[in-house]
Amino acid sequence: MIRYLFVFVMLIHGLIHLAGFAAAFGYGKIGPIASEITRAGGVLSLIATISLTLTTVFFLLRNENWLWGAILSILVSQTVILMAWQDARFGTIFNIIIALGLLTDILTREINVIFRD
Protein backbone atom coordinates (compact mmCIF):
# COMPACT_ATOMS: atom_id res chain seq x y z
CA MET A 1 0.00 0.00 0.00
CA ILE A 2 2.78 2.46 0.94
CA ARG A 3 4.58 1.53 -2.28
CA TYR A 4 1.63 2.62 -4.40
CA LEU A 5 1.11 5.79 -2.39
CA PHE A 6 4.76 6.63 -3.06
CA VAL A 7 4.24 5.98 -6.78
CA PHE A 8 1.18 8.24 -6.70
CA VAL A 9 3.19 11.05 -5.06
CA MET A 10 5.93 10.83 -7.70
CA LEU A 11 3.45 10.80 -10.59
CA ILE A 12 1.39 13.70 -9.26
CA HIS A 13 4.55 15.70 -8.66
CA GLY A 14 5.63 15.05 -12.25
CA LEU A 15 2.24 16.13 -13.60
CA ILE A 16 2.43 19.37 -11.63
CA HIS A 17 5.78 20.08 -13.28
CA LEU A 18 4.16 19.41 -16.65
CA ALA A 19 1.76 22.26 -15.91
CA GLY A 20 4.77 24.54 -15.44
CA PHE A 21 6.09 23.53 -18.86
CA ALA A 22 2.71 24.19 -20.47
CA ALA A 23 2.44 27.62 -18.85
CA ALA A 24 5.97 28.62 -19.89
CA PHE A 25 5.31 27.85 -23.54
CA GLY A 26 1.75 29.18 -23.64
CA TYR A 27 0.01 25.81 -23.91
CA GLY A 28 -2.20 26.51 -20.94
CA LYS A 29 -3.04 29.09 -18.34
CA ILE A 30 -2.44 28.35 -14.69
CA GLY A 31 -4.62 30.46 -12.37
CA PRO A 32 -3.18 33.62 -10.90
CA ILE A 33 0.52 33.16 -10.31
CA ALA A 34 2.98 35.66 -8.87
CA SER A 35 6.07 34.31 -10.64
CA GLU A 36 6.62 34.39 -14.36
CA ILE A 37 7.65 31.00 -15.67
CA THR A 38 10.49 31.50 -18.13
CA ARG A 39 11.17 29.21 -21.07
CA ALA A 40 14.24 27.89 -19.24
CA GLY A 41 12.03 27.14 -16.25
CA GLY A 42 9.58 25.44 -18.60
CA VAL A 43 12.30 23.23 -20.08
CA LEU A 44 13.51 22.31 -16.59
CA SER A 45 9.90 21.54 -15.64
CA LEU A 46 9.64 19.17 -18.61
CA ILE A 47 12.93 17.52 -17.62
CA ALA A 48 11.58 17.12 -14.07
CA THR A 49 8.38 15.55 -15.45
CA ILE A 50 10.30 13.07 -17.61
CA SER A 51 12.76 12.28 -14.83
CA LEU A 52 10.00 11.70 -12.26
CA THR A 53 8.06 9.51 -14.70
CA LEU A 54 11.10 7.35 -15.53
CA THR A 55 12.01 7.14 -11.84
CA THR A 56 8.50 5.92 -11.08
CA VAL A 57 8.72 3.25 -13.79
CA PHE A 58 12.11 2.08 -12.50
CA PHE A 59 10.74 2.01 -8.95
CA LEU A 60 7.74 -0.09 -10.01
CA LEU A 61 10.01 -2.49 -11.89
CA ARG A 62 12.29 -2.70 -8.84
CA ASN A 63 15.19 -1.53 -10.98
CA GLU A 64 18.07 -0.27 -8.82
CA ASN A 65 18.53 2.70 -11.17
CA TRP A 66 15.48 4.31 -9.60
CA LEU A 67 17.86 5.60 -6.92
CA TRP A 68 19.84 7.67 -9.44
CA GLY A 69 16.65 8.82 -11.10
CA ALA A 70 15.28 9.96 -7.74
CA ILE A 71 18.43 11.98 -7.02
CA LEU A 72 18.26 13.65 -10.45
CA SER A 73 14.53 14.25 -10.10
CA ILE A 74 14.89 15.89 -6.71
CA LEU A 75 17.71 18.16 -7.88
CA VAL A 76 15.94 19.31 -11.06
CA SER A 77 12.58 19.64 -9.35
CA GLN A 78 13.94 21.67 -6.47
CA THR A 79 15.76 23.96 -8.91
CA VAL A 80 12.47 24.66 -10.68
CA ILE A 81 10.74 25.21 -7.35
CA LEU A 82 13.39 27.70 -6.26
CA MET A 83 12.96 29.61 -9.54
CA ALA A 84 9.27 30.18 -8.71
CA TRP A 85 9.41 29.92 -4.92
CA GLN A 86 6.40 32.14 -4.21
CA ASP A 87 4.07 29.85 -6.17
CA ALA A 88 5.84 26.49 -6.02
CA ARG A 89 7.27 26.26 -2.50
CA PHE A 90 4.87 23.48 -1.47
CA GLY A 91 6.45 21.23 -4.10
CA THR A 92 9.36 20.94 -1.69
CA ILE A 93 7.14 18.69 0.43
CA PHE A 94 6.91 16.23 -2.49
CA ASN A 95 10.70 16.32 -2.89
CA ILE A 96 11.16 15.62 0.83
CA ILE A 97 8.81 12.62 0.58
CA ILE A 98 10.78 11.29 -2.41
CA ALA A 99 14.07 11.87 -0.56
CA LEU A 100 12.73 9.97 2.46
CA GLY A 101 11.75 7.06 0.20
CA LEU A 102 15.20 7.15 -1.34
CA LEU A 103 16.92 7.15 2.05
CA THR A 104 14.67 4.36 3.31
CA ASP A 105 15.59 2.19 0.33
CA ILE A 106 19.32 2.88 0.73
CA LEU A 107 19.27 2.17 4.47
CA THR A 108 17.24 -1.00 4.00
CA ARG A 109 19.77 -2.26 1.47
CA GLU A 110 22.66 -1.50 3.83
CA ILE A 111 20.97 -3.19 6.78
CA ASN A 112 20.34 -6.28 4.64
CA VAL A 113 24.01 -6.39 3.69
CA ILE A 114 25.13 -6.05 7.32
CA PHE A 115 22.85 -8.81 8.61
CA ARG A 116 23.50 -11.12 5.66
CA ASP A 117 27.15 -11.52 6.64
Tell me, yes or no, if the pTM score tops 0.75: yes
Output the pLDDT for position 109: 84
Pairwise CA distance, residues 19 & 1, whole Å: 27
pLDDT in tens, the chain (117 residues): 889 999 999 999 999 999 899 988 988 777 767 678 889 999 999 999 999 999 999 999 999 999 999 999 999 999 999 999 998 999 999 999 999 999 999 999 888 778 875
